[in-house]
Amino acid sequence: MRIPGGVPTAHLDTFASDRLPPAGLMPRFDYSAPFLSNIPDRLNGAALLIDGAIAEGFAAKTAFYCADAAMSYGELQDKACRIARVLVEDFGLVPGNRVLVRSGNTPMAAACWLGILKAGGVCVNTMALLRARELTYILNKARIDIALADIDLAQELELAKGTGEALKHVCYFTALCSGQGELDQRMDRKSGGFKPVDTAADDVALITFTSGTTGNPKGALHLHRDILAVCRCWPRVYTLEQDEIVTGSPSLAFTYGMAAFLMYPLYYRASAALLPKPTPDAILETVERRKVTSLYTVPTMYHALLERAGGGTLSSLRKCTSAGEHLRQRLWDGWLDKTGIRLVNGLGMTEFLTH
């Protein structure tokens, strides 16, 4: 059976791939399903998600909503290309270098994710709540070369950056690229149109760290082909249409949120309403204001939403999924009674990239 990849790597820095298990210890991958068997041997996950959308004519469509702002697919591609240029031209990134992203769920966090992959880098998303000690561990475990962070989250990264053994550059951005951050300003001096690095399908694209409940967090390595594979798997059951808007609480640093609010909407040319601080009230306001159709969150949040939701607040929802905690029958029944929607319970782990 053919496994996508097996062609020369585009990575000049092979730190990540050198830490994959030897071939004899790798899992047995099954790409025989019709929706997986045609994944190409060379694939750049960012080009697949954003450049593909532009080629199909979605430049003017909204990719992300955030508070009162909106970012189109075309604007997102332009920002990702400019970020890629900053990484390569200003910071000397070579394919395979690791780049840390520290942010809440914002359009610029998504643009950074895409820009890193377009440049051939390996993206390491991190939770906004991490403290300096935890950031230091990740910086050194993944031998991070460059860090891009929301300027509102600078304090802990500033404390940690002196302990990053490989860290050369730290650059801050604003959530909507409003010009106050150094990265915003560097981007403004760049042109768009960055040609994505022609990565192999089995080149490492992401390192996602576990939550560390059993000790130090483990860095799970995900390949470019994994991005396409997960987009073609879970959404075959929990579908996503082009006219849909998704929102919810999981962080983009979790594979749950990364898939729900970045990979799936872009791949299916839908839209996501991003919430940097996803409180119950913020979710309810966003659902009602943006006419959200698909909600991704955790049982604790569903309990809070049930207590607060008014009569028509949730009327735009078509489907809802829960993950991250045990979904109890009482909550499932209560949500069905309130909304008429059956909660879909997702199970999975960081190492699987999606639930």
Tell me: the pLDDT tens digits for 246-302?
Answer: 999 999 999 999 999 999 999 999 999 999 999 999 999 999 999 999 999 999 999
pLDDT per position as a tens digit, 22-79: 888 988 889 999 999 999 999 999 999 999 999 999 999 999 999 999 999 999 999 9
- The pLDDT of residue 355 is 42
Q: In a 3-state reduction of DSSP, which class is residue 203?
A: coil
Q: What is the mean pLDDT of residues 207-225?
A: 88
| Equal CATH topology for 39-226 and 232-352 | yes
- pLDDT of residue 143 exceeding 60: yes
State the architecture of 39-226 in CATH terms.
3-Layer(aba) Sandwich (3.40)
- The pLDDT of residue 310 is 80
When the pLDDT of each residue in the chain is averaged and rounded to a whole number, the result is 94
- pLDDT of residue 339 exceeding 50: yes
Q: What residue ranges do the domains of the chain occupy?
A: 39-226, 232-352
9 vs 43: CA distance, rounded Å: 11
- pLDDT of residue 97 exceeding 60: yes
- The pLDDT of residue 214 is 75
256 vs 249: CA distance, rounded Å: 10
Q: What is the mean pLDDT of residues 237-253?
A: 95
Q: What is the pTM of this model?
A: 0.96
Instruction: Compute φ and ψ for 150, nearest 5 degrees.
Output: -65, 135
- pLDDT of residue 157 exceeding 80: yes
- pLDDT of residue 354 exceeding 70: no
- The pLDDT of residue 212 is 72
In one-letter notation, the amino acid at residue 207 is I
Domain covering 232-352 assigned CATH 3.40.50.980 in the classification? yes
Tokens at residue 104, please? 């809440």
Q: What is the mean pLDDT of residues 214-234?
A: 92
Judged by phi (left if over 0) then psi (alpha if -120 to 50, else beta), residue 34 lies in alpha
